[in-house]
Amino acid sequence: MVLKRFFHFIVFLFVLKICAQENPDQTQGRQINIVYGANFTKDEAQFPGASIFSKDDERQVQFEHQGADLWCDIAIFYNQENRLKAIGNIRLQQGDSIEMNSGKMDYDGNTKLAKAWENVDLSDGKMTLTTDTLYFDRENQLSYYRSGGKVVDSVNVLTSKIGNYFMELKKVQFRNKVHIDNPEYIIDSEQLDYYRVSKNAYMYGPSTITGEEYKIYCERGFYDTKIEQGYGVKNTKIEYSNRIIEGDSVYFDKASSFASATNNIQVTDTINNGVIRAHYAEVYKEKDSVFATKRAVAINLVQQDSLYIHGDTLMVTGKPEERVLRAFRNAKFYKTDLSGKCDSIHSEQKTGITQLIKNPILWNVENQITGDSIHLISDLETEKLDSLKVLENAFIISLDTISNEGYNQAKGKDLFGKFIENELKIIDLVRNTEVIYYVYNDDQELIGIDKTICSKIRLLMANNDIEDITFFVNPDGDIFPELDLPVESRKLKGFVWRGEERILSKEDIFDEDDNNLELVKIRGIDDSIDIDTEEKERQKNQSISSAPNSQAVKPKKTQVKKVQAPQ
């Protein structure tokens, strides 16, 4: 046994001497060094110019090259070319953390590029990458695969067709059929950059995150896989409980059950088929609420006709069957035959009552209706408009469409209206009622102007115009010839015509400030982002915020070494 070891040692020294004589320049710096050669032989027919080393009973063959050690069962070493082929139980160790194992490997000492195949795995102590073929570029500290691979860390299992692992950045760039499997969620993407330390993921191309109670789609976005928090900035959509949130930028946080969106937003109530559009919105899942502002509008379907409600601020709260909509400040609404405005709107699904609060005005086609408070009431079963209440100082006015000069008017303390098939058909005015009405014959010739007071008046409507008037309880009045009734007597006390304010289209619910709104510029939609720099800043800010007595620090521009991954 002693003689055998002595013989191996003499052969090993002989090989080292020959290697140094063959190429003395390569022995300085970049030459692959033999640490333990064990058994030595040559096979010029099969491996011309190569030295063949194989393990002995005590240990494997070992080589060293610029801070990395390689062990294997058999090594075919081309000293002049400074490269080797390793076979069997290969282990490449770089520093204290990087270790790669495989069945076979080619290693070039000049380029410091290793190609490993057959049951390959690479680990940095916190993450393990497995694939059938892996390239390890030690010069640029980059490893990559092109035929499918898997990365496993303490949180996620990630697979893709193509992968690049940037070791200095501790970042894995996955491409082509990227899939992340986690007990709490699944991510599928076309391209995803994953930072091993922070567990942050940056997505590009069509990407979907499916959690237990949510689903997110985006074509560019960020996701913190530890706490299930992130955002999308291109074609983003979140299916969140019974709502779908879409916008230029959408943020999501599972822990607080919160989502927000900025610019060109649409929030869809999938149960009630209602939609909110705005340029900023917040959704609170646990509270069943939506807050929206910046050209905010709620859209609901009423008998095949869309109802648009706008306010400086919109809030929708309550469970799906008990939604409450509130529009605050400068509230307006529009549907084809009904529109109005007031300071605020309160609409409650459970009662079917929509209240126009403070300075309300309602237009039923050509009829202007005002009062201290106006209520629209829907049938709870059919969800169709059922009735109308105007409380205190009720006043209805319409332009006489024949003369286009006078105004038909009726007033009373309160007004009660009845809708039939979505059309206002019956109007009852009660207490201290008065009427001024232009009366025509069948040839549309003016007969006179009816001016009457009584306790109650009923107006029967047809095609949104007064067809018949009935006076109740001691009416007092007459039909006056036009010349006998002075112009100043043709308007009831409190008459105010506001025809120029009438809302004629869904666009009229927005004022000048809404239409000239300057949208927030969202980073990442039209411009590229250096995500390596952003990730460093993100990690730095997280460490600062979690430190005791921490104070905000202004971000600095970070210099990052760029390595281009092979295609």
If we measure between CA atoms, which residue out of 66, 151, 148 comes closest to residue 107?
A: 66
70, 92 contact by CB (below 8 A): yes
Whether 11 has a pLDDT exceeding 80, the answer reads no
Sign for the pseudo-dihedral over CA of 466, 470, 475, 481: positive
Better-predicted residue by pLDDT, 120 or 538:
120
The 10s digit of each residue's pLDDT in 465-487 is 788 888 888 888 889 998 888 98
Burial of 2 (0-12, 13-18, 19+ CB in 10 A): exposed
Neighbours of 219 (CB within 10 A): 16
Would you list the DSSP string of 244-278?
EEEESEEEEETTTTEEEEEEEEEEEETTTTEEEEE
119, pLDDT greater than 80: yes
Residue 498, classed as helix, strand or coil, is coil
Do 436 and 408 contact (CB within 8 A), yes or no?
yes
The overall average pLDDT reported for the chain is 86
Q: What's the DSSP call for residue 181?
A: E
Query: Is the pLDDT confidence value at 564 over 80?
Result: no
Closest CA to 290 of 338, 222, 238, 343: 238
Q: Any idea which of 279-283, 353-357, 435-439, 563-567 has the lowest mean pLDDT?
A: 563-567
Q: State residue 527's pLDDT score.
A: 61
Give the CATH number for residue 488.
2.60.450.10
Q: How many CB atoms lie within 10 A of CB 311?
A: 25
The predicted pLDDT at position 2 comes to 40
Q: Residue 20: helix, strand or coil by DSSP?
A: helix
The pLDDT value recorded for residue 20 is: 43
Q: According to the model, what pLDDT value does residue 125 have?
A: 85
Count CB atoms within 10 A of the CB of residue 346. 17
Cβ–Cβ < 8 Å for 284, 335: no
Instruction: Taking residues 377-406, report their average pLDDT.
Output: 89
Q: What pLDDT, on the 0 to 100 scale, is given for residue 552?
A: 34
For the stretch 498-516, pLDDT in tens is 999 999 999 999 998 889 8
User: Does 4 score more than 80 pLDDT?
Assistant: no
Query: Is 366 inside any structural domain?
Result: yes
pLDDT at 1 exceeding the cut of 80? no
Q: Does residue 142 form part of some domain?
A: no
Asked if residue 307 has pLDDT above 60, the reply is yes
User: Are the beta carbons of 208 and 216 closer than 8 angstroms?
Assistant: yes
**pLDDT, tens digit (0-9, with 9 covering 90-100), for 157-188:** 999 999 999 988 999 999 999 999 999 999 99
Residue 473 maps to a domain: yes
Integer Rg of the chain from CA:
40
Backbone angles phi, psi at 437, to 5 degrees: -145, 135
Q: Per-residue pLDDT tens for 68-77?
A: 999 999 999 9
Nearest to 139 by CA among 66, 32, 35, 62: 66
Q: What is the domain range of residue 439?
A: 317-516
* Percent of the chain clearing pLDDT 90 (strictly above): 61
Q: At residue 304, what is the residue type?
A: Q
Mean pLDDT of 382-388: 86
Residue 554 lies in a domain: no
What distance in Å separates the CA atoms of residue 53 and residue 171, rounded to the nearest whole number?
36
When comparing pLDDT for 22 and 91, which is higher? 91
Mean pLDDT, residues 337-347: 93
The 10 Å Cβ neighbour count of residue 372 is: 14
Assigned domain for 488 exists: yes
pTM above 0.75, yes or no: yes
Does residue 558 register a pLDDT over 50? no
Instruction: Look at residue 496 and tell me whether its pLDDT is greater than 90.
Output: yes
pLDDT exceeds 90 at position 80: yes
d(CA 101, CA 116): 8
Q: Fill in the amino acid letter for 141.
A: Q
Tens digit of each residue's pLDDT (9 = 90 or more) over 308-336: 999 999 999 988 888 999 999 999 999 98
Q: What is the pLDDT of residue 97?
A: 84
- pLDDT, residue 565, reads 66
Whole-number pLDDT of residue 542: 66
Q: Could you tell me if residue 477 is inside a domain?
A: yes
In a domain, 170, yes or no: no
Q: Is residue 50, in this structure, part of any structural domain at all?
A: no
* Number of domains, the chain: 1
Between 500 and 302, the higher pLDDT residue: 500
25 pLDDT band, cuts 50/70/90, is very low
pLDDT of residue 23: 47
Residues 6+ apart with CB under 8 A from 307: 299, 300, 301, 333, 334, 335
Q: How confident is the model at residue 546 (pLDDT cuts 50, 70, 90)?
A: low
Amino acid code (one letter) for 411: K
